[in-house]
Structure 1
Amino acid sequence: MRGQFCDGPQTRIEITKKTNDHIPSWWNGTKTARDKYGHLQYGSWGYKVPWEKYRRRGDGCNGGTLVDSGTATLPTKETGWRYWETSS
């Protein structure tokens, strides 16, 4: 017996993992001048989330065709400074 989920074509979005990320604010905060070693930037801590969009053909519950994919950047309420170093 086929359930309602299997009737007709449907689209679904899958999110398989998330990674921590720092999202710079529109105000870049303080950065050190050229040829320096340290960098400082204010922003929101959040996540990068890869996603995939699938569409079924309507011929059963199995399978699907990948229609689109990408990465979403999702901020959280946590804000703070990010510091990193470079050679120049």
Structure 2
Amino acid sequence: MSGKVKRDLFVSVGALAFAVGLTTPALAAETDTPAPISESSVSAEDSASAAELSVEDTLTGLPDVGEDGGVGSLRCDNPYKTWMEITSKKAYHVPSWWNGTQFKDGPGGTMTVKVEKAGKISLSVTGGWEGETKFIVAKAKVKVDVNVAGEVGITVGHQYSRDVARGKYGHLQYGSWGYKVDWARYETSPDRCGKRKVRSGKATLPTTETGWRYWKTNS
């Protein structure tokens, strides 16, 4: 085989592989058996690459065509892809649920407390399946806070003091300074000119930043 023929064949095969990569639906996340939630499944290694994020940002700007839209003779050159978006966020102190991390005292005076028992604070997700958790965390790391994590370990010892107003009762709760978010999973429409919402839900996400939250009551 001549050098020219070899080069032509190489280019043709490479072009075919590239075309398949663009046109084949990203169904792996839909068909794989969901993996249990674990620290490894939601680690920083799952953060999306800059190139992927650029494509997803472009696709997010496409019009939402709904369930029955995007079927017709019109065709656009956007790639077919499924992706996750964080559609809203709100700061939220994710509390630890076990004893030794919540205290009440009063009326008045000074509260001095410390974490008395170690444990872990984990994320919670509604509306999706466990295999999607890592994609929600990865997108939240970029769009919400780089400190977002699937699970945060709490150790014994963090001490804190707080004055309680006269006649009031003070409350101190340990936890993670995290977020409540709304998320949605999208896919490119069949004509690749719009996007479709596949499903959506809510999530409570801890971060690696932890501390005490204080509030007061009358009784």
TM range (shorter): 0.5 to 0.7
**Which is richer in helix?**
2
What residue ranges of structure 1 are gaps of 5+ in the alignment? Answer: none
> What residue in structure 2 maps to residue 84 of structure 1?
215
> What residue in structure 1 maps to residue 77 of structure 2?
3
Q: Does the Cα contact within 8 Å between 1:15 and 1:50 map onto a contact in 2?
A: yes
> What residue in structure 1 maps to residue 86 of structure 2?
15
Structure 1 counterpart of 2:88, one-letter code: K
**Which is richer in strand?**
1
The Cα shift of 1:63 comes to 3.6
Matches within 5 A, 1:1-88: 2-3=76-77, 5-6=79-80, 10-28=81-99, 29-32=101-104, 37-64=169-196, 66-88=197-219
Higher relative contact order (Cα pairs below 8 Å, separated by 6+ residues): 1
Q: Does the Cα contact within 8 Å between 1:5 and 1:61 map onto a contact in 2?
A: no
TM-score, length-scaled by structure 1 = 0.67
Structure 2 counterpart of 1:83, one-letter code: Y
What residue ranges of structure 2 are gaps of 5+ in the alignment? Answer: 1-74, 106-167
The Cα shift of 1:27 comes to 2.7
Q: Could you say what the CA RMSD is over the residues aligned between the two structures, in angstroms?
A: 2.6
* Distance 1:24-1:77 versus aligned 2 partners, 3 A rule: same
TM-score, length-scaled by structure 2 = 0.32
Give the fraction of aligned pairs with identical amino acids, expressed as a percent: 56
Structure whose alpha-carbon radius of gyration is higher: 2
* Distance 1:58-1:87 versus aligned 2 partners, 3 A rule: farther
Alignment length, in residue pairs? Answer: 82
